[in-house]
Structure 1
Amino acid sequence: MTKSDNTGLVLSFFESFNAGDAEAAFALLDEEAVWWVAGKPDRFPLAGDYDKDGLLRLLGTVGQAMPNGVDLKVTSTTTQDDRVVVEAESHGVSAAGKVYDQRIIYVFQLHDGKIRQVREYLDTQHAVDVLVTG
């Protein structure tokens, strides 16, 4: 795939995700996909590695914390071969009324036209404050 194809695939993932179409987003993931969330699990319980089923459970956890959803906006992409780096902003209001205002870096690794690995870097303390304790 070309760099443009790879960028398009990742942007399609976010478009499907933002539209609430988890099925379409998950169809872009390789069967062996691993999603890694930054942080130390003893301080940020959402940190760690997730397979596709685990990612679905993680999204359910976030959905409970953010019942009105999260607005995720891609602000830039950089593509090198089969790696796409995405800068994004995420906004929402938690069930407890706390504002979630997060900046996130995603590093996507693609393989054979599918998303094989994602590394998600975020302000874990802010996520704890809003998603876990709030």
Structure 2
Amino acid sequence: MTATGNTAVVLRFFERFAAGDAQAALTLLDEQAVWWVSGKPDQYPSAGPHGKDEVLQMLGRVGQARPNGVEIEVTYTTAQDDRVVAEVASRGVSAAGKVYDQRLVFVFQLRDSRIHRIREYLDTLHANDVLVAS
């Protein structure tokens, strides 16, 4: 697939998440997909690698921490060959009323029009403070 086609897959992925349909977003991942989240697991529980079967559980925990949903805005993408990099703004309010205002960078690797790898870089201190410690 072309870089443009791969970017379209990634944008569909975020559109589905923004619409609150994580299940539909995950249909764009291949069966061996791994989603890696930056940070140290002893300091931020979502940090580390997650297989496709674990991703829904991880996202469920994040969803519980933000019961009123989350706003997702893809602010920039760039692509080359099988990789797409997306800068994303994510906003919401935690169950405890704390404001979540995060800037993230995702690096996607695609294979045969499906997402094979995701590397997510974020401010884990802010995420832990708002989503975990609330």
Q: TM-score, normalised by structure 2?
A: 0.97
Q: Secondary structure of 2:85's match? A: strand
CA–CA distance in structure 2, aligned partners of residues 22 and 127 of structure 1:
19
Question: Does the alignment pair 1:24 with 2:40?
Answer: no
| Residue correspondences, number | 134
Residue by residue, what CA displacement relative to the aligned partner does 1:26-55 show, whole Å, maximum 9, x if unpaired? 111010000000000111111011111211
Aligned residues of 2:104 and 2:120 also touching (Cα < 8 A) = yes
User: Paired residue for 1:38?
Assistant: 38
Residue by residue, what CA displacement relative to the aligned partner does 1:67-121 show, whole Å, maximum 9, x if unpaired? 0011111000010100000000000000000000000000000011100000000
Aligned residues of 2:73 and 2:88 also touching (Cα < 8 A) = yes
Aligned residues of 2:20 and 2:69 also touching (Cα < 8 A) = no
Of 7-16 and 22-31, more deviation after overlay is shown by: 22-31
Segments ≥4 residues shifted beyond 3 Å: none
CA–CA distance in structure 1, aligned partners of residues 23 and 133 of structure 2:
29
User: Paired residue for 2:88?
Assistant: 88
Question: Does the alignment pair 1:127 with 2:127?
Answer: yes
Deviation at 1:5, TM superposition (A): 0.4
User: Paired residue for 1:117?
Assistant: 117
Please list every run of 5 or more consecutive structure 2 residues that lacks an aligned counterpart in the other structure: none
Please list every run of 5 or more consecutive structure 1 residues that lacks an aligned counterpart in the other structure: none
Deviation at 1:130, TM superposition (A): 0.2
User: Paired residue for 1:71?
Assistant: 71
CA–CA distance in structure 2, aligned partners of residues 115 and 90 of structure 1:
21
Letter in 1 for 2:95: A
Letter in 2 for 1:52: K
